[in-house]
């Protein structure tokens, strides 16, 4: 046992690690890369992605101009789902506004509206919806039917109340704050981008400048060289996890409901995945420029099919199955679980297991590739 | 003029010689188009829902069947757990608990409360799930003859431009705008910074070529590259995603070269500022992706962007080009709808051009 300890302490690893740390501290660009882009990305993703469909602009053409028609308009606007953009007096104006996208919806109340209602007949209103944004259009038409059915109930007070009442409760994010959804996803996105970039450039730089050969001539073993390179980077990237969690707490007030220590352990797994991807990229590329360009091929699909921005369930079948092979998808699910749901490994074990497998397999492949390149 | 064209020809032959870059210039845009075009779907479909039916009567089973009759919901197994644990494990996005007295209550004409627990981590989906469940419930009541409210008021809802609400018609034109900004600017930035890195820019300074001619020559070359990318991308969109011109295509045909030129200017500007190729790529990737994806109205409407960021979105050319390309392929209003957007792209493009020219001539003096 003491012999092993002696071996570890006398290893070239320490000297090399000190050299790497000095190099990193001198490299302003690297430190900048570790701090600035992640913060900016978190801020912009968190603030700019706002999927809330409310305050939809509505243009009204009220031919009836009666009490009920005005009540209908106020029923549409009372929840701020729609806001009246303006009243028009001609159908051409209204259709023009919808056609040009000035308003999301146009409501036409016919002149015989009040009369038909008084005669106990069905009155019909027309709604034109701008369908260029298919998602918003769908939600808007859903809101409209919902509000109209409530309005119908109001028109017939003698009717019985609805017999089935779905009482919805929102879990984990009762205030429906959209940044709470995006921020954990973006933490995963940021770690993916930064860890693959930083590790690949650390390896490629030595290749580019030719110092890799010098390192090889030292008595250090190749695993010591690689480990000394990666451990400081790993620690810095763990610092990025702290940074990202700090931004999410301080700026977006996203809760952290799970176990912090376990979350850091799982994040460490994910960083290993990111670092391995970086090393793989670096071993297959000849120059730094090739690394950054080929990283597009990996990172773009990884991020877009991870559910960080658009939920995985809405994707076509192929992508839903492919998502199982996407380490980021697992990490995002874990991050949402720890931050918002307050669950732990017991509930998320499948994702944690998948992540561990990815970490082991990718680490193995990348180290093997790197060593074969060294020899 | 002759010197500009000579510079452009030189740039293109240099571009052609680098196989990797040529491949990337056409493969990356295609890859992006396919992934964005197929994978980004905002509308919630196939939401997994677990139902805990304590009533277990024909009526409650009919209600459950009704919920899964459309493609909005998919049945998720409850696996003996409670509603909360299903949500905790992420097996379902919502859990519906039908009370034991469900059928009895309804028979007595008394309202029965059905508990719906919704996982609100995904806010958008949560809201949509809630309103789907409510709408399905109303529909269930009506078709089973339980609803006594007369339909005195009916809405005839018409969705214009995209009556089938195909999401690809929204996503794909936006993706074209993103792709045609990122990749031409990336290539231009790389070309500019390579000249600096390899020191060949000193030779250019020593020649009689002015900064203006250098920029215009490079811009012309990458405009050609960008336009060929545009042809590929648009052709694929037409074939795979059924994009068709909805109206007058001239604003689009005129706007696309101007937009690509603005993208190239943006790339050249970053190229003059960046220290090395990695920094240039990082700059384009970070600034380009963040602004065109998030501040342009590509995913969610521009009007949703909150105040300080909304100011930035006003100077993002992609925001205006998205309006033009969506108008060409979906809306179809032609010039009346988009003349302002085109003007803005011209204005922003010339600003970028001027910044690039200035910083290049400053470099020239200092050397």
Say yes or no: A44 contacts chain B, CB-CB below 8 A: yes
Highest CATH level, class, for B47-143: alpha beta
Interface contact A152-B87, CB threshold 8 A? no
Give B127's contacts in chain A (Cβ within 8 Å).
Answer: 53, 139, 176
State which residues form the domain around A202. Answer: 25-49+174-374
Cα separation, B354 vs B350, whole angstroms: 6
Written as six digits, the tokens of A339 are: 């931050």
Q: What single string gives the DSSP state of each residue in A281-348?
A: HHHH-SSHHHHHHHHHHHHHHHHHTTTSSS-GGGS-HHHHHHGGG-HHHHHHHHHHIIIII---HHHH
Say yes or no: A35 contacts chain B, CB-CB below 8 A: no
Give B295's contacts in chain A (Cβ within 8 Å).
Answer: 44, 48
Number of domains in chain A: 2
Cα separation, A136 vs B42, whole angstroms: 9
Note whether A115 and A181 are same-domain residues. no
Written as six digits, the tokens of A172 are: 């984990």
Note whether A242 and A189 are same-domain residues. yes
**Among candidates A153, A136, A144, A282, which has minimal Cα distance to A206?**
A282
pLDDT of amino acid A20:
79
Mean pLDDT for B157-170 is 86
Written as six digits, the tokens of B339 are: 């003349």
Note whether A116 and A132 are same-domain residues. yes
In a domain, A60, yes or no: yes
Give the nearest partner residue to B116 out of A146, A167, A348, using CB atoms.
A167
Whether the predicted pLDDT of A9 surpasses 80? no
Cα separation, A359 vs A8, whole angstroms: 24
Closest chain A CA to residue B48 = A313
Rounded to a whole number, what is the distance in Å from the CA of B256 to chain A's nearest CA? 20
Interface contact A99-B160, CB threshold 8 A? yes
131-150 in chain B: CB under 8 A from chain A:
131-135, 137-138, 140-141, 146-150
Cα separation, A334 vs A307, whole angstroms: 12
Interface contact A129-B159, CB threshold 8 A? yes
Mean pLDDT for A343-350 is 89
pLDDT of amino acid A175:
86
CATH number of the structural domain spanning residue A101: 3.40.1710.10
Q: What is the mean pLDDT of chain A?
A: 87
In a domain, A163, yes or no: no
Of A155, A189, A210, the one marking the end of a domain is A155
Q: How many CB pairs under 8 A join A and B?
A: 325
Note whether A289 and A307 are same-domain residues. yes
Question: Tens digit of pLDDT for each residue in A89-122?
Answer: 898 999 989 888 889 999 999 998 888 888 888 8
Mean pLDDT for A116-143 is 88
Residue B174's alpha-carbon distances to A222, B36, B246, B258, B322, in angstroms, are 48, 9, 16, 17, 6
pLDDT of amino acid A101:
86
Note whether A221 and A276 are same-domain residues. yes
Question: Tens digit of pLDDT for each residue in B32-75?
Answer: 999 999 888 887 778 899 999 898 899 999 999 998 988 888 88
CA angle B262, B265, B266 (to 5 degrees): 90
In a domain, A194, yes or no: yes
Among the residue ranges A315-324, B216-225, B313-322, the one predicted with the least confidence is A315-324
17-36 in chain B: CB under 8 A from chain A:
20-21, 24, 28, 31-32, 35-36
**Is residue B135 within 8 Å of residue A145, measured between CB atoms?**
yes
Mean pLDDT for A215-222 is 72
Note whether A203 and A232 are same-domain residues. yes
CA angle A293, A294, A297 (to 5 degrees): 110
Q: Looking at per-residue confidence, does A38 or B212 come out higher?
A: A38
Say yes or no: B196 contacts chain A, CB-CB below 8 A: no
Whether the predicted pLDDT of A355 surpasses 70? yes
Give the nearest partner residue to B121 out of A153, A336, A347, using CB atoms.
A336
Interface contact A159-B336, CB threshold 8 A? no
Note whether A45 and A64 are same-domain residues. no
Give B300's contacts in chain A (Cβ within 8 Å).
Answer: 49-51
Among the residue ranges A357-361, B20-24, B88-92, the one predicted with the least confidence is B20-24
Note whether A93 and A213 are same-domain residues. no
In a domain, A16, yes or no: no
Note whether A223 and A285 are same-domain residues. yes
Interface test with A, best of B63, B87, B102, B120 (most A CBs within 10 A): B120
Q: Looking at per-residue confidence, does A16 or B33 come out higher?
A: B33
pLDDT-based confidence at residue A59 (cuts at 50, 70, 90): very high
Of A155, A188, A217, the one marking the end of a domain is A155
Question: Tens digit of pLDDT for each residue in B293-309?
Answer: 889 989 888 888 888 88
Question: Tens digit of pLDDT for each residue in B228-277?
Answer: 999 999 999 999 998 889 888 999 999 999 999 999 999 999 988 887 77
205-244 in chain A: CB under 8 A from chain B:
none
Rounded to a whole number, what is the distance in Å from the CA of B204 to chain A's nearest CA? 23
Give B156's contacts in chain A (Cβ within 8 Å).
Answer: 124-127
pLDDT-based confidence at residue A375 (cuts at 50, 70, 90): low
Cα separation, A288 vs A264, whole angstroms: 30
Note whether A180 and A318 are same-domain residues. yes
Q: Looking at per-residue confidence, does A306 or B144 come out higher?
A: A306
In a domain, A216, yes or no: yes
Interface contact A289-B105, CB threshold 8 A? no
In a domain, A190, yes or no: yes
pLDDT of amino acid B264:
95
Cα separation, A218 vs A19, whole angstroms: 13
pLDDT-based confidence at residue B149 (cuts at 50, 70, 90): low
Give B154's contacts in chain A (Cβ within 8 Å).
Answer: 122-125, 148
Question: Tens digit of pLDDT for each residue in B336-357?
Answer: 888 999 999 999 999 999 998 8
**Is residue A144 within 8 Å of residue A104, measured between CB atoms?**
no
CA angle B270, B281, B201 (to 5 degrees): 55
Give B110's contacts in chain A (Cβ within 8 Å).
Answer: 163
Interface test with B, best of A36, A97, A132 (most B CBs within 10 A): A132
Q: What is the mean pLDDT of chain B?
A: 87
Note whether A261 and A129 are same-domain residues. no
pLDDT of amino acid A73:
92
Q: Looking at per-residue confidence, does A209 or B91 come out higher?
A: B91
pLDDT of amino acid A1:
56
Say yes or no: B311 contacts chain A, CB-CB below 8 A: no
Q: What number is the ipTM of this complex?
A: 0.87
Give A141's contacts in chain B (Cβ within 8 Å).
Answer: 157, 159
Interface contact A301-B44, CB threshold 8 A? no
In a domain, A12, yes or no: no
**Among candidates A251, A274, A278, A248, which has minimal Cα distance to A260?**
A248
Interface contact A49-B299, CB threshold 8 A? yes
pLDDT of amino acid B366:
47
Written as six digits, the tokens of B177 are: 């705008």
**Is residue A323 within 8 Å of residue A305, measured between CB atoms?**
yes
pLDDT of amino acid B367:
43
Interface contact A131-B159, CB threshold 8 A? yes
Say yes or no: A59 contacts chain B, CB-CB below 8 A: no
Whether the predicted pLDDT of B147 surpasses 90? no
**Is residue A131 within 8 Å of residue A137, measured between CB atoms?**
yes
Note whether A61 and A38 are same-domain residues. no
Rounded to a whole number, what is the distance in Å from the CA of B141 to chain A's nearest CA? 8
Interface contact A316-B41, CB threshold 8 A? yes
The boundaries of every CATH 3.40.1710.10 domain in chain B are: 47-143
Give the nearest partner residue to B156 out of A124, A289, A297, using CB atoms.
A124
289-318 in chain A: CB under 8 A from chain B:
289-290, 292-293, 296-297, 300-301, 304-305, 309-311, 313-316, 318
Among the residue ranges B73-77, B277-281, B332-336, the one predicted with the least confidence is B277-281
Question: Tens digit of pLDDT for each residue in A221-268?
Answer: 777 777 888 888 899 999 999 999 999 999 999 999 999 999 999 999
Buried b / exposed e across B281-303, counting CB within 10 Å, b at 16+? bbbbbbebbbbbbbbbbbbbbbe
Buried b / exposed e across B47-83, counting CB within 10 Å, b at 16+? bbbbbbbebebebbeebbebbeeeebbeebebeebeb
Give A316's contacts in chain B (Cβ within 8 Å).
Answer: 38-39, 41
């Amino acid at each position: 046992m003491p012999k092993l300890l002696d071996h570890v302490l006398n290893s070239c690893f320490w000297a090399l690690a000190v050299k790497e740390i000095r190099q990193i501290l001198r490299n302003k660009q690297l430190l900048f890369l570790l701090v600035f882009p992640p913060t900016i990305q978190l801020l912009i993703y968190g603030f700019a992605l706002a999927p809330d469909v409310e305050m939809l602009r509505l243009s009204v053409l009220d031919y009836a101009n009666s009490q009920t028609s005005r009540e209908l308009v106020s029923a549409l606007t009372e929840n701020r789902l729609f806001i009246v953009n303006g009243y028009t007096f001609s159908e051409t104006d209204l259709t023009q506004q919808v056609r040009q996208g000035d308003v999301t919806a146009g409501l036409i109340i016919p002149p015989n509206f009040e009369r038909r209602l008084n005669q106990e007949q069905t009155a019909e209103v027309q709604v034109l919806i701008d369908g260029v944004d298919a998602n918003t259009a769908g939600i808007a038409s859903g809101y409209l039917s919902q509000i109209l059915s409530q309005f119908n109930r109001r028109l017939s007070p003698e009717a019985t109340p609805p017999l089935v009442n779905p009482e919805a409760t929102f879990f984990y994010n009762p205030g429906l704050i959209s940044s709470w959804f995006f921020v954990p996803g973006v933490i995963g996105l940021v770690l993916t981008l930064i860890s693959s970039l930083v590790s690949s450039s650390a390896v490629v730089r030595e290749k580019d400048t030719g110092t890799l050969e010098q390192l090889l001539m030292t008595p250090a073993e190749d695993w010591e060289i690689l480990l000394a390179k990666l451990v400081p980077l790993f620690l810095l990237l763990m610092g990025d996890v702290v940074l990202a969690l700090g931004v999410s707490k301080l700026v977006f007030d996203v809760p952290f409901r799970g176990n912090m220590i376990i979350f850091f352990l799982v994040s460490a797994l994910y960083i290993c995945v990111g670092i391995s991807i970086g090393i793989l990229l670096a071993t297959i590329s000849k120059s730094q420029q090739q690394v950054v360009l080929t990283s597009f091929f990996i990172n773009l699909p990884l991020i877009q099919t991870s559910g960080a921005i658009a939920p995985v369930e809405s994707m076509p079948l192929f992508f839903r199955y492919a998502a199982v092979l996407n380490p980021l998808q697992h990490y995002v699910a874990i991050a949402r679980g720890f931050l918002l749901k307050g669950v732990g490994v017991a509930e998320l074990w499948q994702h944690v297991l998948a992540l561990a497998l990815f970490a082991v397999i990718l680490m193995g492949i990348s180290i093997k590739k790197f060593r074969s390149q060294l020899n | 003029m002759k010197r500009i064209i000579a510079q452009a020809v030189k740039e293109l032959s240099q571009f052609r010689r680098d196989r990797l870059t040529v491949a990337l210039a056409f493969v990356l845009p295609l890859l992006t188009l396919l992934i964005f075009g197929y994978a980004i779907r905002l509308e919630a479909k196939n939401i997994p829902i677990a139902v805990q039916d304590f009533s277990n009567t024909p009526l409650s089973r009919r209600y459950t069947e009704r919920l899964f009759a459309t493609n909005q919901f998919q049945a998720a197994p409850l696996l003996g757990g409670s509603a909360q644990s299903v949500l905790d494990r992420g097996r379902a996005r919502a859990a519906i608990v039908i009370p034991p007295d469900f059928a009895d209550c309804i028979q007595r004409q008394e309202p029965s409360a059905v508990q719906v627990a919704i996982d609100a981590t995904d806010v958008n989906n949560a809201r949509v799930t809630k309103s789907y469940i409510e709408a399905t419930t109303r529909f269930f009541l009506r078709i089973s003859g339980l609803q006594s409210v007369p339909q005195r008021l009916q809405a005839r809802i018409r969705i214009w431009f995209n009556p089938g609400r195909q999401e690809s018609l929204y996503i794909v034109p936006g993706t074209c705008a993103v792709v045609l900004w990122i990749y031409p600017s990336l290539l231009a930035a790389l070309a500019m910074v390579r000249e600096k890195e390899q020191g060949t820019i000193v030779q250019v300074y020593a020649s009689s070529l002015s900064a203006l001619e250098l920029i215009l020559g490079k811009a012309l070359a990458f405009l050609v590259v960008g336009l060929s990318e545009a042809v590929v991308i648009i052709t694929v969109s037409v074939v795979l995603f059924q994009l068709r011109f909805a109206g007058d295509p001239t604003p689009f045909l005129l706007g696309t070269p101007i937009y690509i030129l603005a993208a190239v200017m943006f790339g050249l500007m970053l190229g003059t500022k960046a220290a090395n190729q990695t920094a240039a790529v990082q700059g384009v990737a970070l600034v380009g992706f963040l602004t065109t994806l998030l501040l342009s109205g590509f995913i969610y409407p521009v009007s949703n962007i909150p105040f300080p960021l909304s100011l930035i979105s006003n100077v993002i050319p992609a925001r205006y080009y998205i309006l033009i390309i969506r108008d060409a392929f979906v809306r179809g209003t032609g010039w009346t709808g988009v003349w302002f957007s085109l003007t803005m792209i011209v204005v922003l493009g010339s600003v970028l051009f001027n910044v690039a020219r200035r910083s290049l001539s400053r470099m020239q003096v200092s050397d």
